[in-house]
Structure 1
Amino acid sequence: MHALQEPLGNLSAELRQRFAQIGAVWGRDINAHRDLVIAAYTPLVAAAANDVADACEVQRDQPYGPDERQRLDVFVHTATREAGQADVVVFVHGGAFLRGSKSFNGLIYDNVSRWFARQGCVAINVEYRLAPQAPYPAGAEDVAAALDWVRTHAAGLGGNPQRIFLVGHSAGGAHVATYLADPVLAARRSVPVAGAVLISARVVADVLPDNPNAAGVRAYFGDDAALYEERSPLAHAERIDVPLMVVVAEHENPYLDAYGAAFFERVAQARQRTGRPARAPRFVQMLRHNHTSVVAHFDSGETLLGDAMLDFFRA
């Protein structure tokens, strides 16, 4: 663990100040603010990715289904593959249900998997179908299909099929939570999951006036707002029966921090009622970070969240 690290500590003083300025008004223009964050982290992530002394094997665009977006990338070090029995980390990116890819600008989102590969994990980066062509529950169905692929191939990649951890960011977090909890996916939950991490996840389908991604919610969850509550992962949170970690940024897209806290509370209360306090979920707020930097910072030098996740996996 890197106890002396500071959030955003690998950025210049000028960038830290700029992040603080946009933090207070993050939700007013999330696209512009997202672009600034990605521009800040891209050179740091690129430098790490180009470190040939610590390079990992990358297998691109492995198909886990017939659609052209049902593809995944594998990141693993040769030593990990040869040793076997490694933890497997499956990452599902965000994009407001309408956009996004597993390798934005060739670096961001790759950085998450690349960092976990450096830590001795088999890391999988999943792309999935998008709305409106693939509405609810297609994203969660793609998570299920990707997990089928991972279970089949894990051992050959050096991973332990009994130690698969799901990680989802933003819309990807919604798909992970739906896969884990929604009764509509019950028949597809055939792969044992050792734990899950929801990062800045959209666990409530809302189209409130100040939700900058309301169009994406409508496109994915449908035009009938009467169905939003039952289709929201929060409605089924108490059904999650695997170890869970919920992460939010200090500066979030509107309401996602509150929704994450509510999700954590509902899972925690359900587990208290069932008398399993040893499996209480974890909750982490990433100070000074925003909805984008909470994942863009991986493999940039700051390891606070990554270390916390590894501790969660190995606890």
Structure 2
Amino acid sequence: MLSGKRRLPVLTHHLPPPYLHCALTMDAVANMRETEIKEILGPTISAFVPLLEPLRTEIESARKTFRYGDTDRHQLDVYYPPAATDGAKHPVLFFVYGGGFVNGARTFPAPTDLGYGNVGLYFAKQGFVTVIPDYRLAPATTFPGPAEDVRAALAWAVAHPADLGDSADLERVFLMGHSAGGVHAFTVPYHPPSRTPVPGLPLRGVVLVSVPFHFDFPGMGSTGDVYYGSPGGTAAHSPLALLKAAPEFVPPPLALVQGERDPPGFFVVAKDFNGALAEQGIVPTQIAAKGHNHISLTWALGTGQGEAWAEEVAKWMQGL
């Protein structure tokens, strides 16, 4: 479901007629019979690309790029909220994108180059200084390399507060990850070397969006093995395994988001994960992303459609 190379999404005018006629609305998602990622990836992105184009100037003007490490995969984009005149402080949100462990970038090639920029702009408009880091991908790196990169990006924020802007509130930092990015976001506080918060940067909350919490389910196949290195590594270091291995650890507040049209396996692993949380007395906030498939969750942001889940997430974070 998450494995294999992903082809670049096709343009809207290359889509078959059923998608073409409804490509500018969330109806495009509802009309897709498939839920598997490889089947809905291109059509979903192509449905939203035209709606993001009017945001180009806003996205590009809200963004600055910085390097937080030595390689091209150690760069990040910061999206700044509109200038405030009341001197208010803005919480900081780190968003970790997915890509099946082997794909993904904070900026895609044209014509899909506004993807994730829309996420940064959306949450910046909600009042968050939003940071989207790149990280190393498998097989060039394996567990816990990407999580270490996310930690390095968090440490960069502590060391470079001026680059976040005078209004950034480093006492209120949140971490959000989608799909494989959620695996990395969860690994940051839960992997033993990472449980000590980044000095000066305690996490206020973690948001996990449609995350594969383990891979022991028909259809998942060997998805995690290329990243974890082996079936044994996958079994030992999946989010569910890390959770069960740390029964005494008190995590930051958790919010779990599930797309209504996620692939079936994601609901199975989410049930297992929620059961393990309950056994440890951890009660996460549950947010349903109605109408969304696995890809539309992020690509819809900024379009005025399908944003209800993100509005709930923003309110949850603002309330902590």
TM-score (norm 2): 0.81
How far 1:188 moved relative to its partner? Answer: 6.5
Residues 17-71 of structure 1: CA deviation (Å, up to 9, x unaligned): 542342x4212xx2341111111111112223335xx9853102x1111121011
Q: Quickly say closer, same or farther: Cα 1:175–1:81, change in 2 above 3 A.
A: farther
How far 1:215 moved relative to its partner? Answer: 5.1
Output the CA distance in 2 between the equivalents of 1:240 and 1:71: 31
Name the SS for the 2:107 alignment partner. Answer: coil
Name the SS for the 2:160 alignment partner. Answer: helix
Q: Quickly say closer, same or farther: Cα 1:219–1:81, change in 2 above 3 A.
A: farther
What is aligned with 2:240? Answer: 234
What is aligned with 1:7? Answer: none
Instruction: Report if the CA contact (8 A) 1:128-1:139 is conserved.
Output: yes
The answer to whether residue 229 in structure 2 is matched with residue 222 in structure 1 is yes
Output the CA distance in 1 between the equivalents of 2:85 and 2:271: 37
**Could you say which structure has the higher helix fraction?**
1
Name the SS for the 2:64 alignment partner. Answer: strand
Name the SS for the 1:284 alignment partner. Answer: strand
What is aligned with 2:295? Answer: 292
Name the SS for the 1:308 alignment partner. Answer: helix
Output the CA distance in 1 between the equivalents of 2:135 and 2:85: 25
How far 1:172 moved relative to its partner? Answer: 0.5
Instruction: Report if the CA contact (8 A) 2:24-2:48 is conserved.
Output: no
Residues 128-162 of structure 1: CA deviation (Å, up to 9, x unaligned): 00001110000110111011012233465121111
What is aligned with 1:276? Answer: none
The answer to whether residue 105 in structure 2 is matched with residue 98 in structure 1 is no
Output the CA distance in 1 between the equivalents of 2:28 and 2:121: 27
What is aligned with 1:210? Answer: 219
Whichever residue aligns with residue 267 of structure 2, its letter is: D
Instruction: Report if the CA contact (8 A) 2:82-2:124 is conserved.
Output: no
Name the SS for the 2:281 alignment partner. Answer: helix
Higher relative contact order (CA 8 A, sep 6+): 1
Instruction: Report if the CA contact (8 A) 1:103-1:110 is conserved.
Output: yes
Whichever residue aligns with residue 172 of structure 2, its letter is: R
Alignment counterpart, residue 38 of structure 1, candidates 42, 45, 48: 45
TM-score (norm 1): 0.83
Name the SS for the 1:99 alignment partner. Answer: coil
Output the CA distance in 1 between the equivalents of 2:69 and 2:118: 24
Q: Quickly say closer, same or farther: Cα 1:189–1:236, change in 2 above 3 A.
A: farther
Output the CA distance in 1 between the equivalents of 2:82 and 2:296: 29
Whichever residue aligns with residue 114 of structure 1, its letter is: L
Q: Quickly say closer, same or farther: Cα 1:81–1:202, change in 2 above 3 A.
A: farther
Output the CA distance in 1 between the equivalents of 2:23 and 2:237: 43
How far 1:184 moved relative to its partner? Answer: 4.1
Within 5 Å, give how 1:228-267 maps onto structure 2.
228-237=234-243, 239-267=249-277
Alignment counterpart, residue 270 of structure 1, candidates 241, 263, 280: 280
Output the CA distance in 2 between the equivalents of 1:295 and 1:227: 29
The answer to whether residue 87 in structure 2 is matched with residue 83 in structure 1 is yes
Within 5 Å, give how 1:1-315 maps onto structure 2.
12=22, 16-22=26-32, 24-27=33-36, 30-50=37-57, 56-60=61-65, 62-80=66-84, 83=87, 85-104=89-108, 105-154=112-161, 156-157=164-165, 158-186=167-195, 189-190=198-199, 191-206=201-216, 210-211=219-220, 214=221, 216-223=223-230, 225-237=231-243, 239-271=249-281, 280-302=283-305, 303-315=307-319
Residues 215-239 of structure 1: CA deviation (Å, up to 9, x unaligned): 552210112x123222011123353
Residues 152-193 of structure 1: CA deviation (Å, up to 9, x unaligned): 334651211111110001110000011121224335754310
Q: Quickly say closer, same or farther: Cα 1:55–1:100, change in 2 above 3 A.
A: closer
How far 1:93 moved relative to its partner? Answer: 0.4
Runs of 5+ consecutive residues of structure 1 not aligned to the other structure: 1-10, 273-279
Q: Which moved more, 1:71-80 or 1:13-22?
A: 13-22
Output the CA distance in 1 between the equivalents of 2:156 and 2:145: 17
How far 1:265 moved relative to its partner? Answer: 3.5
Aligned residues: 288
Runs of 5+ consecutive residues of structure 2 not aligned to the other structure: 1-20
Instruction: Report if the CA contact (8 A) 1:181-1:240 is conserved.
Output: no
Instruction: Report if the CA contact (8 A) 1:69-1:128 is conserved.
Output: yes
Residues 81-130 of structure 1: CA deviation (Å, up to 9, x unaligned): 99352111110000000011112221111111110111221011111000
Instruction: Report if the CA contact (8 A) 2:219-2:265 is conserved.
Output: no
Instruction: Report if the CA contact (8 A) 1:196-1:242 is conserved.
Output: yes
